[in-house]
Chains A and B, each alone.
Chain A
Amino acid sequence: MLLIHNGRVLDPSRNFDGPADVLIEGERIARVGPKIEAPGAERLDASGLVVAPGFIDLHCHLREPGNDPAETIESGTRAAARGGFTAVCCMPNTQPVNDNASVTRFILDRAAAVASVRVWPIGAASKGSAGEGLAEIAGMKDAGIVAVTDDGKPIATAKLLRQVMEYTRPLDLPVIEHSEDASLFAGGVMREGPTSVRLGLRGIPAATEAICVARDVQICALTGARLHVAHMSAKDSLDLVREAKRRGLTVTCEVTPHHFTLTGEDVVYDARYKMNPPLASRADREALLAGLADGSVDAIATDHAPHTQASKEVEFDRAPFGITGFETALGLALEALVHSGRLPLARLVELFTSGPARVLGKTRRIAEGEPADLTLFSTEHRWTFRAAESASKSRNTPFDGRSFRGGPMATIVAGRVVWRR
């Protein structure tokens, strides 16, 4: 038995925000209420902290299976726990690609053995994510995937996207799209704009993403499937998603912390600023911030993409895309969204909990009988993120050394405290 007492329970799914204690028995929440008496229970004093439903990250790369020195399920989930995440959805672009049940089972078995948090695998939409034929989606669904994607790339053709969407509809799986037009992207390394021209780096125009989002929305309308736009970075994409929602389509989207914090103007000759989609314009960032506030954006997701030092420490052109993100997500979100006054704390918690849950067709609540997944965080605690101290095996982040006001303080998964600051 674990009693979390003196905390401020904030559960947007039930519109609850106030002082309350939470009693956990085994892996479930036993009771929520004011001043719970629980003699014999282990006690966790949550004074000054917010007690929220366990955070979910819809988008991350754990690099396993694959023997990748950049990350494993074990190290990645430890980093996730330090970021306050209780469940992470890992992308299928591993070695081999997660395109059939046995790879899915491998991931889940591995997670059961070594992971600090829940791992919900996302399966490939096409075999090998090669964009030709369908992957063994139903088999993977039985094995436990929560969505399909060919992330890293868009689903190759409109025709294939239609097939995937029609096929997954009765399976009730959302289709996650990395929306990008290959010919406009070709060879690009950062967002096209004054900085790319100044630095002499090949630019990727904003339209690259929006063109594909437009395609995806059309096919979604055609098929009635559930579309989720991954790591949305552009105003034009957001406008398309808003319009789709208005039309009653099941379209959702996520934004990463780096896209609502940095812009293309921040890019320098340092591959820690290189990711895909690239850092966008100020107008895009402004639009994303507005969308996070007004509900057009459903979730914050990290797109945690670890890479070894050696692979990133090369000329900008040659470096792989991606930065880590678990441990800085909440700090950046508090800074850009709550401390700046853009949106209330409850909305922030939604973006990390009920928002992502809804995308997956799940719920995330603090209520009797629910799984005991909780994220305890502070809105005031001052701390500095140092990449060298990260639990991830990788250090590729532009936020090394950044100071934060507020951040995760404890992470509870299935009733166990998996991390505490």
Chain B
Amino acid sequence: MSFTFRHLLGTEALTRDEITFLLNQSRAFQGIQKQPLKKLATLRGKSAVLAFFETSTRTRISFGTAAARLGADTMNLQAESSSTQKGESLMDTVRTLEAMKPDVIVIRHAASGAPHFVAERLGIPVINAGDGVHEHPTQGLLDALTISDRLGRMDGLDVTIVGDILHSRVARSDIHVLSKFGCRITLCGPAMWLPPEIVQIAPNVRLEPRLDPALRGAQVVMVLRVQTERLQEPALPADEYIRLYQMTPERLALARPDALLMHPGPMIRGLEIDPAVADSPQSCVLEQVTNGVAVRMALLYLLTGGAPSGAAAG
């Protein structure tokens, strides 16, 4: 099959076959990363705008690396240096972007739905690099690739995601991707951050506010970071969070002995994760980063190719 989407706005609308296709394409780019010469000329002459309206060093660098390895040019638009601080509307930024005539736009924004806004108005492919608390589709895909490579499969796995689920776009994307492979997903965290309605967004999702029962039998444990910058409400004291939810070796041992430990980064060692766990053989954190570049290369490659049929994924 081929990828006929014009944009990647989310993983909710992707079918299992489409996800499998994307992961397979990503594997081809994993190979490139192991070569001595990692740079291709495939997208030479093409340009990508990295429009990051929310601070993010890691994802921006990942996309920048992906573009550079494909030989594409990148233009960086950062919130601190763009006019959005002065009150310029998203619409005007959109028009500016269009005038720059990029071949693809990668956008991260604090407002859920911002990539959809841009995609609806521009004739240019848009990749969502994280919108508000809605989705972070490339993270969902790179997590799936990591799991698939480490365990050799993705079907029917028991996955536990720990953290502030309510405000996590990573959690939502992971839920959408993994549920399509029949995974049983347990969401764990402080009860006020476990919205009951989230079990309706995909099949086989359950909530469990207590960490120990949530971890039992898990083959994949995903630890989310505590998002101090997104909270507009009374925060949970750090000591409470550490006492109840920090991933320690003892707690990780409650999961399957070969369980994968994953984290989207950046980690705050000593808060949501014990350093011993972060550096253990079960930790896939570094592979997640490498796979992130591969997934993003695959998407840049697929979406900058001429004019596919025009639907939006997500």
Residues of chain A whose beta carbon lies under 8 Å from any beta carbon of chain B: 186-187, 192-194, 196-201, 269, 310, 313-318
B89 touches A269 (CB 8 A): no
Q: Interface residue tally of chain B, by bracket?
A: 20 to 34
- 5 inter-chain pairs at a CB distance below 8 angstroms, sorted by A residue, are A198-B197, A200-B135, A269-B112, A313-B91, A316-B113
- With A200-B133, A200-B134 known to touch, is A317 a contact of B112 (CB < 8 Å)? yes
**Which of A186, A196, A317 is close to B111, meaning CB atoms less than 8 Å apart?**
A317
- With A199-B113, A317-B112 known to touch, is A186 a contact of B131 (CB < 8 Å)? no
Q: Which residues of A contact B169 (CB under 8 A)?
A: 200
A315 touches B117 (CB 8 A): yes
Q: Which of B110, B133, B197, B200 is most buried by chain A, counting CB atoms within 10 A of its CB?
A: B197
**Which of A199, A201, A314 is close to B89, meaning CB atoms less than 8 Å apart?**
A314
Q: Which residues of B contact A196 (CB under 8 A)?
A: 197
Question: B276 near A: Cβ within 8 Å?
Answer: no
Question: B109 near A: Cβ within 8 Å?
Answer: yes
* Interchain CA distance A201-B134 in the complex, whole Å: 7
B91 touches A200 (CB 8 A): no
- Kindly provide the distance from the CB of B49 to the nearest chain A CB, expressed in whole angstroms: 18
A199 touches B134 (CB 8 A): yes
The 5 closest A-B pairs by CB, nearest first: A200-B134, A269-B113, A315-B111, A200-B112, A200-B133
B232 touches A186 (CB 8 A): yes
- With A269-B116, A314-B91, A315-B111 known to touch, is A200 a contact of B132 (CB < 8 Å)? yes
Q: Which of B90, B113, B172, B201 is most buried by chain A, counting CB atoms within 10 A of its CB?
A: B113
A194 touches B131 (CB 8 A): no
Question: B270 near A: Cβ within 8 Å?
Answer: no
Q: Which residues of B contact A201 (CB under 8 A)?
A: 112-113, 132, 134
B197 touches A199 (CB 8 A): no
Contact with A along B104-144 (1 / 0, CB 8 A): 00000111111011000000000000011111000000000
Residue of B nearest to A196 (CB): B197
A315 touches B135 (CB 8 A): no
Residue of A nearest to B198 (CB): A197
- Kindly provide the distance from the CB of A266 to the nearest chain B CB, expressed in whole angstroms: 15
B90 touches A314 (CB 8 A): yes
Q: Which residues of B contact A313 (CB under 8 A)?
A: 89, 91
B113 touches A197 (CB 8 A): no
**Which of A197, A314, A315 is close to B197, meaning CB atoms less than 8 Å apart?**
A197
Given A200-B135, A314-B90, output 4 extra A-B contacts at Cβ < 8 Å: A200-B132, A201-B134, A269-B117, A317-B110
Q: Which residues of B contact A317 (CB under 8 A)?
A: 110-113, 132
* Interchain CA distance A317-B230 in the complex, whole Å: 14
- Kindly provide the distance from the CB of A195 to the nearest chain B CB, expressed in whole angstroms: 8
- With A199-B134, A200-B172 known to touch, is A315 a contact of B201 (CB < 8 Å)? no
**Which of A186, A197, A310 is close to B201, meaning CB atoms less than 8 Å apart?**
A197
